[in-house]
Structure 1
Amino acid sequence: MAERYIQQGYPKRLVLRFARIPRSTYYYHKKQEGQQVESVKSEGRAIPGYSLKQDGTKVSDEQVKEWLLEGIEGEVYAYGYRKLTLFLRRTHGLCIDKKKVYRLCKEMAILRSQRQKQTFYRKKLARNCIITGSNQLFETDIKYGYIAGEDRFFFIQSVLDVYDRSVIAYPCEAKDASRTVQQALFKRQLFELDARPVLRSDNGPQFTAHHFTQACEALGIVHERISPRTPNMNAHIEAFHRILEDECLARYEFLSYTEAYQVVSECIRFYNERRIHSSICDLATQEFYVVLTERKFAIKEVRV
């Protein structure tokens, strides 16, 4: 039926639309039947080869190209095709659009390279929540110490469980923050579980980097960042770093990185294995975590 109307001279596009026949289907069957497929691509009007000035004078495309070359060799070197269009209009009085300028610039290979579009990752702000067990919310931050013998600083990135107060991972380097998070998940054996903890951090450059955001997505954890000037929303890791400063970093004058690493590691082991914490029933963090997992012992919920 549709073919009959097309043969009678009705517009092919209109007939196919009323018949609800996709054009691709129509041309596919025409090709299968061995008939010649008519081109649906419009050839467009021929290129006139000139442009008009405001007074109606014709200017050849070759002259326009010369003006473009003179312009980019002079003051408008940094212009793209859109600004070059304005340049031709204002300087030479041409009635020309940006599409034609783009075509002429492309023919002369003088188009400026486009800037790469940057991908911005949406920031997830930390919200007040209630924690009722371990492995629900991790906090991470970076603390720095000073090595007097080498006259340089070293960095400690800590990952702390908000509920049981355990410092799960604490490398004395901050080169790859995502690796520390991966180490924390491995120590808690969370890779086999579907529910992963939420990771909370401040807005430091290590945590706002695209690489860290992509790593968190690959690990299947939600990364949230606190609002600027609100350290109280990262209070537990801040409190631990205060303890680390008072009980370790301020008491020693390190002569080498090896010494600093050993002393800090021993201090954190003491914090996890033997230090009494009043907020978790006067137990050490690892002791409380074992009791919590074995006996279903719990403290009151933690509001953060």
Structure 2
Amino acid sequence: MEYVLEEVKTLLEEEFVDYGYYKTYRYLNQEKGLKIGAYRTYTLMKTHNLLKFQRNKLKKVNRNWVKELVPSVQSEFSFLEFDIKYVYIQGTRSNAQVLTILDVYSRWQLGQYIANSIKSEDVIRLFEQVFETYPMPQQFIVRNDNGSQFEATIVQDYLRQKGVIQEFTKPATPEQNAHIEAYHSIMESAVCQRFDFENLEDFKQTMARWKKFYNFQRIHGGLGYISPRKFLQLIGVKIDPKWEN
């Protein structure tokens, strides 16, 4: 149901969509091919405060919206994009979620968190690992979409306290998060379409190998057909051995 929930949230984030549960139910069946009933749609939306009368009562969160489609980045680790991708686990017939943080300048994958469900606390935990592992600048920018895990007050407050500027893409504009979307496309082709996973642990082990290959070996057209590791070395960044984990 996590996948259905994200589809509902994505739909309701559209600028002019004011659907109640019944129109949402029809949309899921007709446009997404999801076999979910009207009552189950209602229950799902009510549980997560997504019904029309509930949404009208929610306090709007102030967000720093994206101003430039393509960010102007001049140095490593100064502009990051992060997002969540769903991956099907064949052995358990369920979806896993992968949260990934990507450096736009070098395309270096700074961290990933994998679980059946990712919460706001997991976003903070992954950023804590990034701060502990990498020589991050005093201030940098992160860009993300409007997922509930990212817009949560605790995440916004955490990043603000760390001196991080958080940008939100506008609804239904994946091109504003193009680098992480491109990474997901690469991951889909190189990993998801080539392997069947027995369970979550099997997927995690595969993704650990993938992360190391992506950062240290995979050549990237956007970097002049060299790997992120070689690109960072060319600009004078010393690769710390702990970055391999």
Alignment partner of 2:79 out of 130, 137, 141: 137
* Residue 174 (structure 2) aligns with: 231
* Residue 252 (structure 1) aligns with: 195
SS in 2 for 1:138: strand
Gaps of 5+ in 1: 1-116, 296-304
For residues 169 and 104 of structure 2, the distance between their equivalents in structure 1, rounded to whole angstroms, comes to: 15
For residues 273 and 252 of structure 1, the distance between their equivalents in structure 2, rounded to whole angstroms, comes to: 21
Residue pairs, 1:1-304, within 5 angstroms: 121-128=61-68, 129-173=71-115, 174-175=118-119, 176-190=122-136, 193-194=137-138, 196-294=139-237
Give aligned-pair identity as a percent: 28
Aligned residue-pair number: 176
- 1:174-199 CA-partner distances (Å, limit 9, x unpaired): 23112212222332222xx53x2101
Does structure 1 conserve the Cα–Cα contact (< 8 Å) formed by 2:140 and 2:163? no
SS in 2 for 1:241: helix
| Superposed displacement of residue 118, structure 1 | 7.8
| Superposed displacement of residue 220, structure 1 | 1.6
Higher Cα Rg, which structure: 1
For residues 121 and 143 of structure 1, the distance between their equivalents in structure 2, rounded to whole angstroms, comes to: 24
For residues 183 and 121 of structure 1, the distance between their equivalents in structure 2, rounded to whole angstroms, comes to: 27
For residues 271 and 156 of structure 1, the distance between their equivalents in structure 2, rounded to whole angstroms, comes to: 15
For residues 245 and 119 of structure 1, the distance between their equivalents in structure 2, rounded to whole angstroms, comes to: 36
- 1:89-109 CA-partner distances (Å, limit 9, x unpaired): xxxxxxxxxxxxxxxxxxxxx
* Residue 9 (structure 1) aligns with: none
Cα gap change, 1:217 to 1:118, in 2 (>3 Å): farther
| Superposed displacement of residue 257, structure 1 | 1.1
- 1:110-163 CA-partner distances (Å, limit 9, x unpaired): xxxxxxx98754110012141111122100000111112122211110000001
Larger RCO (alpha carbons 8 Å, 6+ apart): 2
Tell me the amino acid that sits aligned with residue 164 of structure 2.
I
Tell me the amino acid that sits aligned with residue 184 of structure 1.
V
For residues 244 and 271 of structure 1, the distance between their equivalents in structure 2, rounded to whole angstroms, comes to: 9
- 1:242-301 CA-partner distances (Å, limit 9, x unpaired): 000111011111111111101112112111110011221221112211221359xxxxxx
- 1:3-46 CA-partner distances (Å, limit 9, x unpaired): xxxxxxxxxxxxxxxxxxxxxxxxxxxxxxxxxxxxxxxxxxxx
Does structure 1 conserve the Cα–Cα contact (< 8 Å) formed by 2:111 and 2:126? yes
For residues 154 and 275 of structure 1, the distance between their equivalents in structure 2, rounded to whole angstroms, comes to: 24
- 1:44-95 CA-partner distances (Å, limit 9, x unpaired): xxxxxxxxxxxxxxxxxxxxxxxxxxxxxxxxxxxxxxxxxxxxxxxxxxxx
Compute the RMSD of aligned alpha carbons. 1.9
Gaps of 5+ in 2: 1-56, 239-245
Question: If the length of structure 2 is used for normalisation, what is the TM-score?
Answer: 0.67
Does structure 1 conserve the Cα–Cα contact (< 8 Å) formed by 2:216 and 2:227? yes
